[in-house]
Chain A
Amino acid sequence: MKNKSLVSINDYSKEEQLRILDIAQEFEKKPVQTILQDYVIASLFFEPSTRTRLSFESAVNRLGGKVVGFSEASNTSVKKGESLRDTILTVANYSDLIVMRNPVEGSARFASEISPVPVINAGDGANQHPTQTLLDLYSIRKTQGTLDNLHIAMVGDLKYGRTIHSLVIALCNYNTTFHLVSPVELKLPSSVKMHIKERKLTYHQYTEMDEVLPHADILYMTRIQRERFSDPLEYERIKNVYNLHKDMIADTKENFRVLHPLPRVNEIAINVDKSPKAYYFEQALNGVFVRQALMASILGIK
């Protein structure tokens, strides 16, 4: 997969995705290496996303690589009206690989097509964030020992959450049974459901999560954002419906784990954190190994 940009999760086949997960496993065993010491990685964050940026930069630093770039666009030539094309062509001169976060949808695809060096999409607006999907797959496989035949419950904003959309699409490769829990107004869009139907997989839709918990192997929680609601009272009501407490996970399966892309607001109570079934902080750490694997693979080192 040398030089193969990753813009959408579907740019990589199932086999290529699994290959990244396997390499990530090696990095988990040995995260500090010097294999990137001759490489410069450009980290272009046109909008701030501290979490994703630190994860990428930590991944590079632990492998001995150098990072150049910016963490927000306000002090750069971009602010002065430079086109994305010019920024990418300039930065490509100084780096071997570009990691880009940009609020404009489709910007990553465009960048990957004009850039002489490969591009990793670290989020383009509401469109795609494929490294999140890879780290979710990694976390699911690690906690369950497999990706096949699992019961995966997804809770919260299933309509606007791009993380959910990409994960659903990726999981369609693994005979997943989907349990979709959301308020009616935030149901999974038909364009995403289409993928489940094409594979003839089973899915169930719910408005409350209690019923789902005993069956689930994975509970993937997401944030419900205030701005999705025109009625603030409706937001307050719904926000408190999708709220996971410690006592709710008492009767779940032994292998049950709670995932969340973070940051959370109040959808997971703090008292869940100490449970061995809470996995969201480890999940975030897995992002470093997966990004190490992806960069090493694209640079042709692994």
Chain B
Amino acid sequence: MENKKIKELKVSAIENGTVIDHIPSNAVFQVIRILKLEAFENMVLFATNLESKKYGKKGIVKVSNKFFAPEELNKIALVAPHASIIEIRDFQVQTKTVVETPDRIKGIVRCFNPNCITNIEHIPAIFAVVDKEDTRLKCHYCEKITTRETMEFR
């Protein structure tokens, strides 16, 4: 109980909306970008470098009055493979799920290879996720590996 109160103080509670927890601290801004929250008009709260038993340091993002489609949220698995998604209604936890890295990714990530056909003609890049933990994406066309470090979102 005591513990819970302290947690709430760190990042304020929201009445309705989505909490994205267990984001690696260095991926918080990427999550914000992937979900296009920069242009979002309602309240968005975020924090980085919070203490976490599981991960050492973690980040969290809270978006009020917004519920996402699973395929939208699964995009963030690319930078936050263990993120949990909590939907809140009337300050109550409604559902709690974990993001799932898809096996195949189409359209959202750019192939890092500038000489790839997807970057030369307007073709959505398609990747097979060859390593979900380290996020290694093999381009269906040029067969090169895009990593978390070289990843860019369209």
Contacts and interface: CB of A to CB of B under 8 A. Distances in A.
A106 B145 contact: no
Given A8-B143, A110-B141, A191-B145, A105 B123 contact: no
Interface residues of B, number: 16
Contacts of B111: 106
A128 interface: yes
B139 to A, nearest CB: 7
B121 A83 contact: yes
Contacts of B120: 104
Given A105-B144, A127-B142, A110 B123 contact: yes
Nearest to B143: A127
A105 B116 contact: yes
A105 B142 contact: yes
A18 to B, nearest CB: 23
Nearest to A111: B117
Interface string B138-154: 01111111000000000
Nearest to A165: B143
Interface in A30-44: none
Interface string A64-103: 0000000000000000000111000000000000000001
Contact of B141 (A85, A103, A105, A191): A105
B115 A105 contact: yes
Nearest to A107: B117
A299 B120 CA distance: 31
Contacts of A125: 115, 142
B118 interface: yes
A206 B106 CA distance: 41
Interface of B: 111, 113, 115-118, 120-121, 123, 139-145
Interface of A: 8, 83-85, 103-107, 109-110, 124-128, 191
8 contacts: A84-B117, A104-B117, A105-B143, A106-B111, A106-B139, A109-B140, A110-B123, A127-B144
Query: 5 tightest A-B contacts by CB?
Result: A106-B141, A106-B142, A105-B142, A106-B117, A107-B117
